[in-house]
Amino acid sequence: MSRLTGVNREALSPEDQAVWDRIAAVRPGMHGPYGVLMYVPGLADRVATLENYFRFNAALPAADRELVILTTARESDAHFAWARHEPRGLEVGTRKEAIEAVRTNGDLAGHYTLIGLVINGFDVPRPAGTPTF
């Protein structure tokens, strides 16, 4: 169970609702780390901007990017991130063998360490019925 309940969009100021809307446009439902990061909308906005760069603007191919995300999720014990990105990785062509190798553990550093720490720090549960490591 999460240590914090989700933020209600309607309870936010108009400026913070705009932050919510920008984030929700890419992450429907506002689950996971952004559900708790929205307690500090300015921080949520900045983390989302950084994550958007890595996910959508960096030169790394999608299959490799998802493998990096999965590796970081595994290292951080971030079950929510794993549950979200394993299907995405398979969808964009990350090899099943590579995913399984990561599932058995690895060593790394990067942006998704931050996401993993947020998820674990607030004990954000993974979506029900999703696979994890």
Q: What is the CA radius of gyration of the chain?
A: 15
Cβ pair 2, 123 in contact under 8 A? yes
Alpha helices in 8-129 (DSSP H): 14-26, 33-37, 41-52, 62-75, 79-92, 96-103, 111-121
Residue extents of the structural domains in the chain: 9-57, 62-121
Question: Could you tell me the pTM of the whole model?
Answer: 0.68
| pLDDT for the residue 30 | 82
Sign of the torsion angle spanned by Cα atoms 114, 108, 68, 116: negative
* Residue entry with tokens 């550093």: 109
| pLDDT by residue, tens only, the chain of 133 residues | 678 888 899 999 999 999 999 999 988 778 888 989 999 999 999 999 998 998 888 888 999 999 999 999 998 999 999 999 999 999 999 999 889 989 987 554 577 777 888 888 888 898 899 988 8
Report d(CA 111, CA 75) in Å as an integer. Answer: 12
Report d(CA 115, CA 111) in Å as an integer. Answer: 7
Residue 12, Cβ neighbours under 10 Å: how many? 15
